[in-house]
Amino acid sequence: MKKVSMAVIRRLPKYFRYLSELLENDIRRISSKELSRLTGFTASQIRQDLNNFGGFGQQGYGYNVEGLHVELGKILGLNKSYKTVLIGAGNLGQAIANYKGFEDAGFNLLGIFDKNPKMIGLRIKDIEIGDVDDLEEFVKENDIEIGIICTPKYGSQDIADRLAKCGVKGIWNFAPADLKVPEGVTVENVHLNESLFTLSYLLKQNAEK
């Protein structure tokens, strides 16, 4: 398969979400024109994006919603489940642990860890918060594939190092830091401050118009 750009990759989950919504509304077939109106991307963009992964649409018919949903799910790696742990059980960590969309999509949270003695032993969603000192043992014993880092900036690189060392291949990082990881490990960042500052930038630009 040819190399697909990050811009295309980031549109795939969006298509997937719209297809999920169409299915919920029992819509079985959609043209790229209708999909364009729905998503805000041009029909030709959508066709191009999907053509990276094989031809899904049929001339004069459009897309079979269910079929495309299944295929996109496979492309996104959502046809399997993932074993995950979360590190940092503060407000944000708790919210992510409780986040519904997460479990529903096959991301199973098996462990939660913190270094704060006041947090250790408490329960979130029936999971007892463990001591972060026991992270490695847990990750290895449970074949954890994804680590979710919800710690403050300081300490986040150390956690990433430790996760990578015991075989974790994916990191979903909420700490405001750019983590350095060995080849073969993927980091996906949710940098809340950067998102917020982008908003304030755009607000300012709009006000100056």
Residues that bind its own copies (CB under 8 A): 9-10, 12-14, 16-17, 39-40, 75-78, 82, 91-92, 94-96, 98-99, 101-102, 105, 107, 145-146, 169-170, 172, 176, 178, 184, 186, 188-204, 206-207
To the nearest whole angstrom, how small is the minimum distance from the Cβ of residue 103 to its own copies?
Answer: 11
User: Which of 60, 153 has the CB closer to its own copies?
Assistant: 153
To the nearest whole angstrom, how small is the minimum distance from the Cβ of residue 86 to its own copies?
Answer: 13
User: Which of 32, 94 has the CB closer to its own copies?
Assistant: 94
To the nearest whole angstrom, how small is the minimum distance from the Cβ of residue 1 to its own copies?
Answer: 8
To the nearest whole angstrom, how small is the minimum distance from the Cβ of residue 94 to its own copies?
Answer: 7
Q: How far are the Cα atoms of 109, 131, 173 from residue 134, in angstroms, in the given order?
A: 16, 6, 20
Long-range contacts of 40-47 (CB under 8 A, 24+ apart): 41/11, 46/15
User: Which of 59, 206 has the CB closer to its own copies?
Assistant: 206
For 44, the token pair is 């030709």
Closest CA to 154 of 172, 177, 136: 177
User: Which of 48, 79 has the CB closer to its own copies?
Assistant: 79
Closest CA to 85 of 101, 97, 77: 97
Closest CA to 59 of 73, 43, 75, 38: 43
Closest CA to 150 of 101, 200, 98, 196: 98
To the nearest whole angstrom, how small is the minimum distance from the Cβ of residue 75 to its own copies?
Answer: 7
Cα separation, 21 vs 203, in Å, equals 30
User: Which of 29, 191 has the CB closer to its own copies?
Assistant: 191
